[in-house]
Amino acid sequence: MKKTVHIFTIIVAVLVLHSLTMDCACAQLPLLRPTADIAADKVIDEAMRYLGTPYHWGGKTPKGFDCAGFTRFIYGKFGVELAPSAAPQYRAGKKVKDTEIKKGDLVFYGGRGNSKSIGHVGIVTSVDANGFKFIHSATSTGITISSSNEPYYKKRYVGACRVVDLVTSNLPANDSSAHAKIPVYRRAIFTDRFYTPQIPFIAR
């Protein structure tokens, strides 16, 4: 009888030890971050809410946006603060090759008078074999969606940059839902040539 109780005690001890070992192993598993695609979808969903908002030169609120004011407003909601004009936004982001453009990237265009000087910016909403579509604040229509193949934009296209990766770093760990609310845990702020955490943007 004593031998049976002793064996039972050993079995229980082994099971408890195994359970504790598994708990420790699970606790040490790395937290998964949401993918850039999920972050981009969240940014685009937010941007789509403002379709039809009128254009306003220098505008940076839902009462009216200019192009850079719109991109700054949208990304600002996700903890990424961009410069208030298009050219500094282009210099601050990570440059992206034309063949590697993805949803959420910023795309830049030349102004009317000088197609080489950056004067316009939008956010890519979709990409396919023929090009991409982007949401932006146009002077004639306000917030709208245009195609990279439209002649007006095709001849003025300058380049693209990526800031959506910073949105990913601001999302809560293990958030795999494309519809979860995004709290802002820290602010990544872009100035003209670099970004500095937790320092307000100062116009130059």
The residues annotated as belonging to the active site are 67, 120, 136
Q: In what side-by-side order are the strands of the sheet with 188-190?
A: 80-81, 188-190, 195-197
Supply the Cα-derived Rg of the chain in whole angstroms. Answer: 24
Determine the 3-state secondary structure of 154 from DSSP.
helix
Which residues share a beta bridge with 110? 118
Residue 137 Cα distances to 65, 82, 107, 191, angstroms: 6, 16, 13, 22
